[in-house]
Amino acid sequence: MSTATLFGLCAAALVGLGLYGLISDPRPLRKILAFNLMGGGIFILFGVIARRGAAAGFAGDPVPQAMVITGIVVAFAATALAVTLLMRLVDAQGSSGIDDTEAEDEAS
């Protein structure tokens, strides 16, 4: 198994786990984290695709690396905005969206 195949499989696993977390969990903070996990898998997959082209004998293209770096910065900014909005929503509502039974289970 080549390195590119291994990284490609890891990227697919990250995207799959992120998609599962995005669909299955109703809590907003976990949805944000699942979306970031899915984005990380996409960044790895994009890097693997760019690396396989360079390994095949083509000239190394700096555009995919620049797009991944830009995507990471944008994802970080979007995550900061989403967490800030979630914190303001929690302050406005006075609830974090967790059921009282879950909060009691975590406290004990």
Helix (H, G, I), strand (E, B) or coil at 43: helix
For 17, counting Cβ atoms within 10 Å of its Cβ (0-12 exposed, 13-18 middle, 19+ buried), the class is middle
CATH code of residue 37: 1.10.287.3510
Q: Domain containing 39: what range?
A: 3-107
CA angle 87, 89, 91 (to 5 degrees): 70
Say how many domains are in the chain. Answer: 1
pLDDT digits (tens, 9 = 90+) for 64-90: 888 889 999 999 999 999 999 999 988
Q: Structure pTM?
A: 0.74
Do 97 and 27 form a contact (C-beta atoms < 8 A)?
yes
pLDDT of amino acid 37: 94
Q: Which two tokens stand for residue 93?
A: 């509502």
Average pLDDT of every residue of the chain: 83
Residue with tokens 């697919």: 12
pLDDT digits (tens, 9 = 90+) for 8-42: 899 999 999 999 999 998 899 999 999 999 999 99
